[in-house]
Structure 1
């Protein structure tokens, strides 16, 4: 197996996290460096990451490509990276993630073993030592859990810590929909389409990465709003289907209303008695509410904000 491999890192104004992610990508072992390249897509209006990436490239064991995509939006950044990437296989790493040295080899081994079009791996959230309030919940929130063993899976996960076969994409250079630039979920939309087209998904249980959220995200204010936005995903996907999946939309909205009511009341009781599991219960209520309130004025934008 001698396919070219592109490691892709989209970024926007996270210099410290980007350097950690990029250095971990360059330190991969167990894969021939001649097959590798690193592509960094900078989604800042000004090319703020260019100097640091070019300096890193001067000492890199394989090519490092810097791409500047000034048009804001996470889908724009991913598409810009893929347009420049030369790999037959694309491995995605986020700019707040750090990959162990055997990460890429682990993803590739699972892809080959199960002949998978897309492989997903675990994400382990970690918070700084000074974060004490709701620490367990916050680290779990920023984690991705999955099966204990590697194998073929029916469902799909997000793009961070994933590996996909370019030939499985209907559009090999612009597969991510710009409709999701500001609200996220461009990866869910893509993988949902791939699933409908018969793509084969696999889980690499050992190919984990660390996720280090920026301090501003390690708060209930952020995670509950994000949970609400996550909840909107399945309802919005049903509404955006062609033709719209009205039965699916009714199912998710009804389920969400029940979930929001039950867990909302339970969260209130836990808040009164200061139960440690309050945050996790509130999270479930927020996801339910998002399934019900998914349209127009209720949509929350987390991505695609331009620099001032």
Structure 2
């Protein structure tokens, strides 16, 4: 689909996608139905990270019914950072709002993000995510919905920490690179957003939380299992240790501290999880999650890295 000539907009909505037509349709239609925002201020960019460009026809259909410009961007080289950067390079907005292709935004979502950004003078605004499992998922349902949720303060306000890129609003002028802010080093393991926001925090960026700017998250069926979530928890645990090692200069004392903490965490919660598994405790999944994060803090290097993104199958590469 030929791209329309770009016209500067105040807000660029970005949805990265990889072969999820059903989820993409839900996400995009929720954005087309946003209220309390002038459509003349908006544009939507769908960035397709499928080498085959499978989303193009779907995006053409969305564009025909949209109250603001909808643009298709093809980023054929697999990788989550590649996709985000391709969309950023095409976006014209001074503000960038990210929604994932497994998320659905209520009608007042964007207005709530914009209100928080203006009120707190924030460089990045984050909102809650509410995990939503389909009715047939019964086993570990509470844990799975919690795992795919993002919880935060009960009220909106300035915060001193950051969350992930899905359901966020970024001020372009505050980015270290306005067109390619996400590191390609994290293409296949994720955490490109953590790396960016950590860099911004070190530079003095201001973060805010918009309690009313919540979205639903509908995980793909293949992710609704302990095999996936515990592997992901392990990868999350690797984050702080890997970040200490990647600092310039490396913070080796921090690496040692995180690894030691991880050993204790894995030992304590691993033992408790074993008891809970034997007794069929409903808390088993929660405890196993904490043990997996502890293991990740300790085994964060080389062969223990798990690749979640950029595979031709669209799935998770587990060891």
Q: TM-score band (shorter)?
A: over 0.9
Unaligned segments of structure 2, at least 5 residues: 1-7, 315-319
Unaligned segments of structure 1, at least 5 residues: none
- Compute the RMSD of aligned alpha carbons: 1.1
Number of the residue aligned with 1:172? 178
Number of the residue aligned with 2:123? 117
Cα distance in 2 between the residues matched to 1:108 and 1:160: 15
**What's the secondary structure of 1:179's corresponding residue?**
helix
Q: In structure 2, which of residues 191, 200, 209 is the aligned counterpart of residue 203 of structure 1?
A: 209
Number of the residue aligned with 2:136? 130
1:38 maps onto 2:41 in alignment: no
Number of the residue aligned with 2:3? none
**What's the secondary structure of 2:139's corresponding residue?**
coil
Number of the residue aligned with 2:152? 146
Q: TM-score, normalised by structure 1?
A: 0.98
1:20 maps onto 2:26 in alignment: yes
Cα distance in 2 between the residues matched to 1:70 and 1:253: 37
Where do 1:193-272 residues align within 5 Å? 193-272=199-278
1:93 maps onto 2:99 in alignment: yes
1:9 maps onto 2:21 in alignment: no
CA drift at 1:306: 2.3
Number of the residue aligned with 2:54? 48
CA drift at 1:307: 4.9
Q: In structure 1, which of residues 52, 62, 65 is the aligned counterpart of residue 68 of structure 2?
A: 62
Q: TM-score, normalised by structure 2?
A: 0.95
- Contact kept? 1:44, 1:307, Cα under 8 Å: no
**What's the secondary structure of 1:128's corresponding residue?**
coil
Count of residue pairs brought into register by the alignment? 307
Report runs of 4+ in structure 1 exceeding 6 Å deviation.
none
- Contact kept? 2:9, 2:43, Cα under 8 Å: no
Where do 1:75-94 residues align within 5 Å? 75-94=81-100
